[in-house]
Amino acid sequence: MKKPYVIGVDMGGTNTVFGIVDAEGKILASDSIKTAVPVLEDYIEQFYNAVTKLIKEAGVEGQIQGIGIGAPNANYFTGAIEAGVNLPWPTPIPLAKIIEEKFKLPVAITNDANAAAMGEMTYGVARGMKDFIMITLGTGVGSGIVIDGKVVYGHDGFAGELGHVLVRRENGRMCGCGRCGCLEAYCSATGVARTAREYLVSSTEPSILREMPSEKITSKDVYDAAVKGDKIAKDVFDFTGTMLGEALADFTVFSSPSAFVLFGGLTKAGELLLKPLREAMDRNMIKMFRGKVQILLSELKESDAAVLGASALGWEAKFSD
C-alpha cells in the first residue's frame, strides 16, 4: 500500500514555501516560489507547476491526499483570504476553491497562527494536549486557541486575535490594526525595538544601543546588548516579559489552558524574556489557576514550522472531504 502524504503551504507576502509531509511530520521535500506575482492567475499557475514538479521529483504521484494552506488573514470557514495586506492582489481571494479546482484535491486554509497551533498539536510539544494557546512572537503577536482538541474560529472565522487585546488603555501605542494599546504593539519584535527607543529617550543611562541610529535598532540588537549586560536592554526585556506574563494570566481566565506554547524569533531571548514573564504571570494569576498552566517553547524547527502547521490542516481537509 502506498504511503499517504499532504502538501503544507506557507504563503507569506514575499515567498510561498511548500512541502510534501507524511503523517509523522517528516518533510519529504520542499521548495518555494515568489508570492509577489502581479497577476493572481499567473501566481496560481506558477504554484501549480512548482508543486507538481516537486511531487514528481519525490516520486509520490497519486499519493497526495490533501493540501493545507496557512496565509495572512485567511478564513477557515470561507476558504478565502479576506484582507491580504501584504499581498499584491485584490481581496477577498477564494484561494481554497481556486487551489482545489486546480489540483482536484481537498484544500483547507487558515491564518498562520492557527496553522502553527495545529502543527504544534499534531507534531510538536502540544501533541496529546486538548487545551492550549499558541502565542507567536514575531513581527507581530499571533495566537491560536485550542479547546477540547479543536482550534477556536468563532462564528466568522476570526476568533483568537489575542495580539489585539488592549493592554494599555491610556496613551497606548498605535498598533497596525488601527487601535492603540494592543499587546502586539509592545510584545512583538517590533514592540521590543520601540520600547528600546523610548527607554533611550527617557533615560541618560549609558547603553551600547546609543552607538547606532535609533530608527535602525531591532529586537536582535536589543538582545545582543542585553547578553553583554547592557542595563537598558535588560530593562526592555523585563518590561516586555512582564507585560506578556500579565496578558497570559488574563488569557488563562478565558479558556483555562494546560499550557501556553510560545513560538517565534523573540523566544530566542530565552530567560531574558521568560523569567519576567513567569514571574508576572504567577503574580497576576487567579488563585484557582496557579501552578496549573505551563509555559512551553515550540519544539518545531522554525524553518519547518509553518509548512508543518499547514500540513496538519491538509490532513484535516482530507478527512473532512
The pLDDT confidence band at residue 73, using thresholds 50, 70 and 90, is: confident
Q: What percentage of the chain carries pLDDT values higher than 70?
A: 98
* Residues pairing with 286 in the sheet: none
Name the grid cell of 270: 530565552
* Nearest Cα to Cα of residue 157 among 105, 106, 92: 92
- In this prediction, residue 235 has a pLDDT band, given cuts at 50, 70 and 90, of very high
How many other β-carbons are positioned within 10 Å of the β-carbon of residue 42?
10
Is residue 71 within 8 Å of residue 11, measured between CB atoms?
Answer: yes
Return the CATH number of 128-297, one of 3.40.50.12710, 3.30.420.40, 3.40.50.300, 1.20.970.10: 3.30.420.40
pLDDT in tens, 241-278: 999 999 999 999 999 999 999 999 999 999 999 999 99
pLDDT at site 14? 85
- The letter for the amino acid at 70 is G
pLDDT at residue 320, rounded to an integer: 65
CATH numeric code, 5-118+302-320: 3.30.420.40
- Give ranges for CATH 3.30.420.40 in the chain: 5-118+302-320, 128-297
Q: Is the pLDDT assigned to residue 179 strictly greater than 70?
A: yes
